[in-house]
Amino acid sequence: LAKTTQPISMDSYEGQEVNITCSHNNIATNDYITWYQQFPSQGPRFIIQGYKTKVTNEVASLFIPADRKSSTLSLPRVSLSDTAVYYCLVGGMGGATNKLIFGTGTLLAVQP
């Protein structure tokens, strides 16, 4: 499984766009990039997943350059409730395990 590197923490203000970048230099051809969000004392929650280029859903956008060695999670107009830990995960899918290997994540603190 590819190792990921992301900032330990980030600060932002309400209404701003937040971009969290993750490095995954050893990503394999069949690996997907997935981002999860975790609030204190809650289970992680799926945000978005992509393989290449750009993916957008109602919550976030995921930008993946052509070499796929990094990815950027973009959260538009954050609010206080977006304060959480954000995890970047890289791995294959469709197999019998599909286990998720979590790193330490990025603690996003949104201030008023």
CB of 90 to another protein, least distance (A): 13
Rounded distance, CA 93 to CA 112, Å? 38
Compare residues 22 and 50 and give the one whose CB is closer to another protein.
Answer: 50
Q: Which two tokens stand for residue 48?
A: 């978005």
Nearest to 27 by CA among 66, 89, 69: 69
Q: Which of 45, 52, 54, 77 binds another protein (CB under 8 A)?
A: 45
Q: How far is CA 90 from CA 79, 82, 98, in A?
A: 27, 22, 10
Residue 49, beta-bridge partner list: 34
**29 scored as a contact of another protein (CB under 8 A):** no
**46 scored as a contact of another protein (CB under 8 A):** yes
**38 scored as a contact of another protein (CB under 8 A):** yes
Q: Which of 19, 102, 109, 111 binds another protein (CB under 8 A)?
A: 102
Pairing of strands 106-111, 9-13: parallel
Rounded distance, CA 51 to CA 64, Å? 7
Compare residues 13 and 53 and give the one whose CB is closer to another protein.
Answer: 53
**23 scored as a contact of another protein (CB under 8 A):** no
Contact residues for another protein, defined by CB under 8 A = 32, 34, 38, 41-46, 49-51, 87, 93-94, 96-105
